[in-house]
Structures are given as C-alpha cells and as structure tokens.
Structure 1
Amino acid sequence: MKKQIVGLAVAVMVVSGLITEGRVDAADNEREAVREAAQGFYAALNQLFVGELEPMKAVWSHREDVTYMGPGGGIRHGWKAVLADWEVQAAMKMGGTVERSDMRITIGTNLAVVTDYEIGKNLTADGKPMEVKIRATNVFRKEDGQWKMIGHHTDLLPSLVK
C-alpha cells in the first residue's frame, strides 16, 4: 500500500511538472509574440517617418475601442480617428528613427501591456533635428490569434504640442 501511495505521488508530481512546463512554454511563446508585436509597431513607426502608412495600419486593431495619445497631445478614440492622426504624421515625413529600450511586458489572457522608452532622433515641424526620449505604454489585444495594438500613450514632446 505504501509503495502504491509513493508511486501515485510520483506520478502526480511528474504530470504536474509536465503541465506546469507546458504552461511555462506557452507563456514564453505568448511573451515572444507580444515582443514581436511591439517591435512591429516600432518598425511601422519608423516607416511612418518616411511617409509609409501601410505598416502602421497592419499593426493596429481596426476596432472602435482603440485609443491613441501621442507626443503631439490630444486623445483619439476609435480606429477612424486614430488612422486620421497617423495619416497626418505620415504626410509630415519627419524622418529619423525611434527605438525602444527597457521594455517590460505584462500579459493576461487576451490583453498585454508593454511599457518602454522611445529613444531616437526626428525632425521638428520646421525641419530642425530633435532628440527624443519619452516614456510609452502600449496595449495589445489578441485578435484572431495575432496581437494587435489597441492603445498607445506617450509623454508629450513640447515641439509637437499645438
């Protein structure tokens, strides 16, 4: 009887370990998928700086519950309003690049929050070089198996605030 109990206990531990390991692997996979979604946003942002809008459209959810609060101030609710803001920015062709640093990821079942710094160089509206280092919060939602941006919020850049 004692051997059966020990055997059962070992079996439970092995199965529990496999289940836990499976959860860890799944969590690691989701974390990597969110990391890739965040990197996709920054790649799209850099393309936007040279006037390319399509990559930005691809990383965002097109639903009406999205929100954008960028470095120029204001708040945009809904995909149409967010897209209109990105169209204006693409037309500006600010040039330069922005990279993320110190990224932190928090993942739930279908939502993920990414915080980081956006660091880089751009041009102001009047063409002068500008250093950028602002905090950002990005929110992603899993839609049809892909992480799509539903929220972007940054510090203000005085040179862009109207």
Structure 2
Amino acid sequence: MEASNFSALYMKPRLNRSSFFKHASDVMLDSRECTLVPRSCIGSGGMSRHHLPMCPQKGSNLAFSANMRAGANFLPASNGLTSRQASRPHSLKSCQVTREESGGTLSGESILLTEKTLERELQVAIKEENYAQAAKIRDSLRLLQEDSKASVLAANARFYNSFRNGDLAAMQALWSKGEHVCVVHPGVSGISGYDLVMGSWEFVWADYEFPLEIEIKDVQVHVRGDVGYVTCIEMVRTKGSSWGRHFATNVFERVDGQWFICIHHASYVDL
C-alpha cells in the first residue's frame, strides 16, 4: 500500500494562539522555541511525520515530545461500519461484544442506531397511546443502556463520530471534565487536563476537510465497575492522502450513569 504523504499541520507557529491555550497566563510558549516539522519531512519508514510541532514543556503538562518518531496519518472516527437495525427492538438481547468487525455481534455504530431507533419508537408508541408497546420498548431501551459493554461501545462510537466530522462541541461534551484526562496523539507525548486536551483537538483539526474517512477494526471492549476501555485499529484517510494506521486505546469512566472518555492514546503502526 502506498505510504501516506499528508503534510504537517502548520508551516508557521500557532501554538500560542488563544484558541489553543485557554489559560494563556498559565501556559506561555514562545513560538521561537517550537521546531516545526516541514511538509516534506518523511520518516525512515516512508510515512510522513506527525503533523504537530515539537515544543518543549514549559509551565504546564503539555509535553510535545522532541523525539517524535516517523508516524502515519493522525485522526480517527468511524466510517464503513455495518449497522444492524433490530426489526423488533423490544426483543433486543444483551450485547456480548469482542470484535466490531465480527458479523455476529453489535458494533458501536449499530448500538447507537438501535438506541436512537428505540427512542423514536417509544415516542411514537406514547403518541399513539399504545402503552403496552411503549412499556416493552422502554424495557429494551433500559436493557441496552444498562449493558456496560454496549454503553462503552456506544460512547466509543460517539467519540469517533465527532472525530470524523470535526465536531468540536460534540468532542467537548464527550470528555470527562478534570485535570486527570489525557490525550496522546501519534508521535508526541501526553497532554493532560481538560482545557489543553480540547485545545489539542482544535489545533489538530485546523487544516483538515471533513468528514474524514475512518475505518475501525479489531475492536475489543472491557469493563469493570465504573471504568471501561476499548482497543482498536484506526484506519484513517484525509482528502488526497492514502491510509494511515494506528493502534488506539480509549478509556472511559462512568459519571452519574453516563460514560465519558478520559484517555485517548493512539500510536502509528506499519501498514
């Protein structure tokens, strides 16, 4: 497969713009201290290097690694996933999910679709005063939402949908609020704290055309108590580029009955 050759995100420093750093008084980066990766910079593996600038850590936990390795395209979200609508949603069984590409289990996208379908049918049944049917649908909806693996997969699908569409507002709503959240973009060190994490998404998305092409493979989900995580392979392609491949780990925590992402860690792998 042809190696990806999509360019660096910026050719001039922009890290000090207010939209990236919400608390400029706490984070002061001199643009002269940023080493930018040129558009023609290709790694030893033939893949273009990661598109974020390399800046030293200064006054915050924003740590862009100066030792970036050659990386594939950044960016995830879910595209090309098969959705299955239940013809009888009220008979929906508890989801036992290990791989999203498996035809025998529900995917995160399918769970989202089923949830929305159930909600619509519930409103229709109530409007038609068919309360027996409404009760069945309500029970199925509750079963789906109480299934921890299904709920984590649905949260994972929402994360990738926001990524695919470049929807910053949706991304902001999906993350836990706090200093404990962390994102590791391919090729750079971790960025911690809600405001800085959100700023990094805005920065990364600045020069891309949406929606992105994204396929997710080898999805596995694990849940224990109020913490769950998803591992997957992200196949990502931006306009005019070839496919990039990343291994991603997404960690979710349950807060007041709702699952929020608190860690996203993506690293490139060879095609």
Aligned to 1:84: 199
Q: Of 185, 205, 225, which aligns to 1:109?
A: 225
- The separation in 2 between residues aligned to 1:137 and 1:70, in whole angstroms, is 11
Q: How many residues align?
A: 129
Aligned: 1:66 with 2:66? no
Structure 1 residue identity aligned to 2:231: T
Q: Of 201, 206, 216, which aligns to 1:100?
A: 216
1:99–1:119 contact (8 Å) kept in structure 2: yes
Greater alpha carbon shift after TM alignment, 129-138 vs 145-154: 129-138
- The separation in 2 between residues aligned to 1:94 and 1:27, in whole angstroms, is 33
Q: For each residue in 1:102-128, what CA deviation from the matched residue of structure 2 results, as whole angstroms up to 9, or x when unmatched?
A: 1111101010011000013115xxxx5
2:155 is paired with a residue of what secondary structure? helix
Aligned: 1:145 with 2:263? no
Identity across matched positions, percent: 27
1:111–1:142 contact (8 Å) kept in structure 2: yes
Structure 2 stretches lacking a partner, 5+ long: 1-95, 97-142
Aligned to 1:18: none
Q: Which structure has the greater CA radius of gyration? A: 1
Structure 1 stretches lacking a partner, 5+ long: 1-23, 158-162
1:35-74 counterparts in 2 under 5 A? 35-48=153-166, 52-74=167-189
* TM-score, length of structure 1 as denominator length: 0.71
Structure 2 residue identity aligned to 1:47: N
Cα distance, 1:133 vs. partner? 1.4
Please give the root-mean-square deviation of Cα atoms over the aligned residues, in Å.
Answer: 2.6
Structure 2 residue identity aligned to 1:129: S
2:247–2:268 contact (8 Å) kept in structure 1: no
- The separation in 1 between residues aligned to 2:250 and 2:150, in whole angstroms, is 15
2:208–2:238 contact (8 Å) kept in structure 1: no
Judging by fraction of residues, say which structure has more helix: 1
Structure 2 residue identity aligned to 1:74: S
Structure 1 residue identity aligned to 2:226: N
Structure 1 residue identity aligned to 2:152: V
2:144–2:150 contact (8 Å) kept in structure 1: no
1:70–1:156 contact (8 Å) kept in structure 2: no
* TM-score, length of structure 2 as denominator length: 0.44
Cα distance, 1:90 vs. partner? 2.6
Greater alpha carbon shift after TM alignment, 101-110 vs 66-75: 66-75
Q: Of 238, 245, 256, which aligns to 1:133?
A: 245
1:137–1:154 contact (8 Å) kept in structure 2: yes
Aligned: 1:154 with 2:154? no
- The separation in 1 between residues aligned to 2:265 and 2:176, in whole angstroms, is 15
Aligned: 1:29 with 2:147? yes
